[in-house]
Chains A and B, each alone.
Chain A
């Protein structure tokens, strides 16, 4: 059973820098945490600070995760530096211990597809995140995919209205958003407006919208014009 107030038991596989700060962050949020680290030397370093929650074991094996009590974990996140170890740890957690939510850190963004095919959970790629942020800087269309929903059938977008746009000055009703798209929020001068038909779009607004993947182009054309 899940503890009160949405607090969870989270197993962190890998006690490197990512694992260390992740564990500290989760502990500060009140979650119960265990760090599973195989390497003796790394364990010695963690011991002073996180000794009580440290399990010295191979977190990519059933025996190691058994030691960490994976049977009652709500979340397992594997953040070693090795994609293969993180993949196997997530798979072991799901198949042997029925852990519902598994998150693996990957270096190679292409391994995200493998996580999906093997039903290993969510893959998080810092490479992809940084590349996405850079892409956002150079993206002249000012449209940025924030989050895929339902494995990419629908996406959450951020749209930047800092440059001239045919949408400026129009109300949401005048804009007539294409079917399969929805304007969710307007961020303006540090505050967030949940828009209705009367909300007027102004220069400098940043919009959050959901759109079906086959409607993305239409949405971009509507907000940024034909040449976008």
Chain B
């Protein structure tokens, strides 16, 4: 598949690394050229310099041809806008956004945006880990 990753921070760069490692064709978009240092060892990944909220930049990155697009910039509203642009303007089939604020849930649902909230995932995982820790230490109690 041809996948565009918007945002080359820690999350975007490691996602690009995984996707590329899995054999997908990957293009990464970021407005800050320094962030591409994170994927400097991945020559097969295409770098596009520009802001993801500019439709021209996204077109240049191949938004009209891509199979999937992931919006993982630092800003929730940017990711929401990028995801909506991808769906409504470029008709990308698979679109996922990262949101940091768990309270955006109802908003994403209304706008029909698929999203992952790392904050919520981490909170759930920490909760589970703590709970299983208690279960191990004190069998029979929670």
Contacts and interface: CB of A to CB of B under 8 A. Distances in A.
Interface in A89-137: 91-92, 95-96, 108, 110-111, 113-114, 117-118
A87 B111 contact: no
Given A83-B53, A84-B53, A92-B107, A114 B89 contact: yes
Contacts of A87: 77, 81
Given A62-B106, A95-B110, A114-B55, A83 B89 contact: no
Given A110-B56, A117-B89, A88 B77 contact: yes
A84 B107 contact: no
Where chain A touches its partner, the secondary structure class is helix
Interface string A61-80: 11100000000000000000
A82 B88 contact: no
9 contacts: A83-B81, A87-B81, A95-B110, A110-B55, A114-B84, A114-B89, A117-B88, A118-B84, A118-B88
A85 interface: yes
B136 interface: no
Contact of B107 (A61, A82, A117): A61
Contacts of A95: 110-111
B115 to A, nearest CB: 13
Interface of A: 60-63, 82-85, 87-88, 91-92, 95-96, 108, 110-111, 113-114, 117-118
Contacts of A83: 53, 81
B85 interface: yes
Nearest to A114: B85
B103 A84 contact: no
Contacts of B77: 60, 82, 84-85, 87-88
